[in-house]
Amino acid sequence: MWLWDLPTANFFSEVIQVARKMAEATKKHVFIGKRDPEAGDPKDLDAKEAEPPSLCTRSNSRATKSHRFSSVKCLEFKKRFFPHIGEYAWNDWRWQLKNRYTHVLSLPLLFPLIKEEKEAIHTKGRLPMAVTPYYLSLFWDMPPEDPIRRSVVPTSREFLVSEGESQDPLGEEGNSPAPGIVHRYPDRVLFLATNFCSTYCRYCTRSRLTGRPDNYSLKTAWEKGMEYIRSHKEIRDVLISGGDPFTLSDEDLGWLLGNLRSITHVEIIRIGTKVPAVLPQRITKALVRLLKRFHPLFINIHFTHPVELTNETQRAVEMLADTGIPLGSQTVLLKGINNSSGTLRELFLGLLRVRVRPYYLYQCDPIMGSSHFRTTVQEGIRLMKELRGHISGLAIPTYVIDAPGGGGKIPVDLGTTIEVNPQGVSLLNYQGRIYSYSNPGQAL
């Protein structure tokens, strides 16, 4: 049962107020979507969210000339809602960040909201929302059930909490010995570099953190994290995540990577990001030159649906691949978004074509209010079986559950091993046929 009753008249009244504000902004040559229409004074809290955190005063705001391969939907959206913005500005990743849509109230001017989306507006606590103009161009003219729209636009379903859900389902805070550090496995750590993302996924594992302004100095936190890694020589692998590390400036990212690379026992650095899918303008020539200095470097990219594989995204991942960085993908299995073998097949094969190796398919983590996104594990097993043997093994990721409570990633048994005995094993192939493999025995 819902704890509120949506006042429809009030909703339309608020939309009208937003429209008036945006019309006034247009008259002053401030472009529609400049920032959250209800953000008010840029010094307010929402304005802090308008730009990614930076440790450096020098700006790297020059637009890239790398993205001249705009998709048709992107061009149509830009022409309709940002007619005064030139290609140079549109392809500037900092412009994209500053012009994010950060409130559900800004969306009715682009497309009609359904009841559940309207209900998300009238709550005691605002649901953080952020979508780049680029990413919004992929679904603004699509129906409510569009997979990309469902993954980033808040709905009232997020206020329905089911059994087993929690704010920190993976127990990261209990495995954090230093600010921003999660040390769960013996030889590797997770380094949470920022709470900021360019676009917020509704099913985010760290929704308790993302979208909230940092209440501490990033540099201070980073230095404490570096100190912890230096003092634990068993750590050989560092995964930088967040938030999204690629929303940091080149200077800040270079500082972070340089300091990690200076630690002699750190052999591998990985970066987890969704930027190539939601903000491909960020992948510039300057950025890839920077990243190339810190090999061996690996990048795992969060992809949700084949719709994300646009010309812009393809260009971005190819620039990364051309620097010699191995690219992997991580996908969350989501009900009503990508839970069909056809969708997953199209996504995984599409990723291979742009030199991204499907790495993990995650069972959706039980964060608060996530039941409408989560499939059953049995469905995930069925989907993996439908893929196995029918597409290249290179295109099939490992299906895992990140065990609630901090147990780490556990591969899901697909039931291919029928029997194990001293003589060998009985195995089930993709066609449902049983085959035997014999262990080495005594010579005849």
| Given the residues 56, 185, 219, 382, the one annotated as active site | 185
Are 306 and 346 a contacting pair, CB within 8 Å? yes
Closest CA to 396 of 337, 334, 363, 348: 348
5 is catalytic: no
255 CB-near residues (< 8 Å, 6+ apart):
55, 56, 222
94 is catalytic: no
Starting from the edge strand earliest in sequence, which strands make up the sheet with 424-428, in order?
417-421, 424-428, 434-438
365 is catalytic: yes
402 is catalytic: yes
| Given the residues 21, 157, 188, 236, the one annotated as active site | 188
74 is catalytic: no
SS (H, E, C) 307-346: HHCCHHHHHHHHHHHHCCCCEEEEEEECCCCCCCHHHHHH
* Buried-state track 400-428, b at ≥16 Cβ within 10 A, e below 16: bbbeeebeeeeeeeeeeeeeeeeeeeeee
| Given the residues 36, 168, 252, 365, the one annotated as active site | 365
157 is catalytic: no
| Given the residues 46, 168, 204, 374, the one annotated as active site | 204
Tokens of 326: 């191995």
| Given the residues 197, 244, 374, 399, the one annotated as active site | 197
185 is catalytic: yes
Are 39 and 50 a contacting pair, CB within 8 Å? yes
204 is catalytic: yes
d(CA 120, CA 203): 15
Residues 189, 190, 191: CA angle, nearest 5 degrees: 115
Task: Please count the other Cβ atoms lying within 10 Å of the Cβ belonging to residue 398.
Answer: 13
Token pair 């780049």 is found at 132
256 CB-near residues (< 8 Å, 6+ apart):
193, 222, 240, 245, 248
| Given the residues 94, 206, 315, 385, the one annotated as active site | 206
100 is catalytic: no
* Buried-state track 103-121, b at ≥16 Cβ within 10 A, e below 16: bbbbbbbbbebeebbbbbb
46 is catalytic: no
167 CB-near residues (< 8 Å, 6+ apart):
207, 208, 367, 368
- The H or E element containing residue 408 is strand 408-411
Q: Count of residues for the chain?
A: 444
**What SS3 class is residue 386?**
helix
DSSP state of 194: -
**What SS3 class is residue 80?**
helix
The catalytic residues are: 184-185, 188, 197, 201, 204, 206, 365, 402, 409
